[in-house]
Amino acid sequence: MKFRRTLLGLALAATALTFGTGAMAQAAYKPEYKMSLVLGPPTPWGMAGQIWADLVKERTAGRINIKLFPGVSLVQGDQTREFSALRQGVIDMAVGSTINWSPQIKELNLFSLPFLMPDYQAIDALTQGDVGKQIFATVDKAGAVPLAWGENGYREVTNSKKPIRSPEDLKGMKFRVVGSPIYSDMFSAMGANPTQMSWADAQPALSSGAVDGQENPLFLFTVLKMHTVGQKFVTTWGYVADPLIFVVNKDVFASWTPADQAIVRQAAIDAGKQEIVLARKGLTEADKPLLKEIAAMGVTVTQLTPAEREAFVKATRPVYDKWKNTVGADLVTSAEKAIAARKK
């Protein structure tokens, strides 16, 4: 009897242990995961986060439930602190621009090298090839799990003063620039007066006229109706484009079952593909409907001739050369080769 009781006790203990561990793994899942974004829906960037969150919820039957925090509100709007907060676990996951994480990961400045990527095929040649893999290895080493690529887009220059056709046109004009110092270097090299500030601060600065201009993908121009804050001139110079990266905090990723990790990864890949289509909409068609839409707002849209564009390439070349070493000369050389060999 005593023996049987002991056996029963052991069996019960074993069962408790099994269930106990199960319950513990279960408990490691948070009721809600915090996703950081600079721009929310309906921008393509915001849609990247929304699509990812929706796919994950659906495919995990609600086990992984994600809430979007646009405006980088988890770091009080300071987008240059997003990656550090992600690494520390203040943020669980993010869809972030390579520009905003460049202060922590210098290799990400690759995409900000002026006129490195002449067309969309060049962006794809980097993100979808070996260079993309190298960059992901660097992001992983820096402390987060990279899962997929998305796209913010080609950053075109806008201002309230006059059409920009040559570097001389920028002389003396005040521009809001993003958080990596390479942007200050580029605008200074062109003779402009750059001020680095967050996107949250940029909007009032444009409204009040504290700055004359800014640079961002053009969907942002239409979504925010930038002509209403005096931005009457747009030049499509295509000097840089920033990809987006879908990432998860390392501890959070490790807390999920391998099956759920695979689901989150595939959902990021699927969301990234869908989002890249949205980010390029209106710009890859031959007649570029987005430019027409902006012109219809009473904005002067200037498209550069190849010779005019070349003047900007020349003016910013010293910045390219200087930053090539910061990014890593080998990585930049690999990128240049991948672009030269791209499908057109």
Give the binding site for ligand X2X (CB under 6 A).
Answer: 38-39, 79, 97, 99-100, 152, 178, 199, 216, 242
Instruction: Tell me phi and psi for residue 118, to 5 degrees.
Output: -75, -20
The CB-of-178 to ligand X2X minimum distance in angstroms stands at: 5
SS3 of residue 154 by DSSP:
strand
SS3 of residue 165 by DSSP:
coil
What residues pair up with 69 in beta bridges, in sequence order?
A: 36
The CB-of-195 to ligand X2X minimum distance in angstroms stands at: 13
b/e string for 243-253 if b means 16 or more Cβ within 10 A?
bbbbbbbeebb
- Please, which residue, 264 or 327, has the CB nearer to ligand X2X? 327
- Residue whose beta carbon is closest to ligand X2X: 199
* DSSP class per residue in 264-315: HHHHHHHHHHHHHHHHHTTTSSTT-HHHHHHHTTT-EEEE--HHHHHHHHHH
- Please, which residue, 120 or 219, has the CB nearer to ligand X2X? 219
The CB-of-96 to ligand X2X minimum distance in angstroms stands at: 8
- Please, which residue, 49 or 263, has the CB nearer to ligand X2X? 49
- Please, which residue, 38 or 105, has the CB nearer to ligand X2X? 38
The CB-of-38 to ligand X2X minimum distance in angstroms stands at: 4
- Please, which residue, 60 or 216, has the CB nearer to ligand X2X? 216
Which token pair is 42?
């309906």
- Please, which residue, 93 or 99, has the CB nearer to ligand X2X? 99
Contacts of 227 (CB under 8 A, 6+ apart): 221, 294, 297, 298, 299
Contacts of 196 (CB under 8 A, 6+ apart): 176, 177, 178, 179, 181, 183, 184
Side-chain-facing half-sphere of 86: CA atoms under 13 Å: 32
The CB-of-196 to ligand X2X minimum distance in angstroms stands at: 10
- Please, which residue, 38 or 182, has the CB nearer to ligand X2X? 38
The CB-of-100 to ligand X2X minimum distance in angstroms stands at: 5
The CB-of-77 to ligand X2X minimum distance in angstroms stands at: 10
The CB-of-232 to ligand X2X minimum distance in angstroms stands at: 19
The CB-of-97 to ligand X2X minimum distance in angstroms stands at: 4
Q: Are strands 144-154 and 241-249 parallel, antiparallel or unpaired?
A: antiparallel
Residue 160 in contact with residue 228, Cβ under 8 Å?
Answer: no
Instruction: Tell me phi and psi for residue 113, to 5 degrees.
Output: -65, 125
Residue 24 in contact with residue 257, Cβ under 8 Å?
Answer: no
Residue 192 in contact with residue 211, Cβ under 8 Å?
Answer: no
Residue 279 in contact with residue 151, Cβ under 8 Å?
Answer: yes
DSSP class of 166:
S
- Please, which residue, 80 or 134, has the CB nearer to ligand X2X? 80
- Please, which residue, 237 or 256, has the CB nearer to ligand X2X? 237
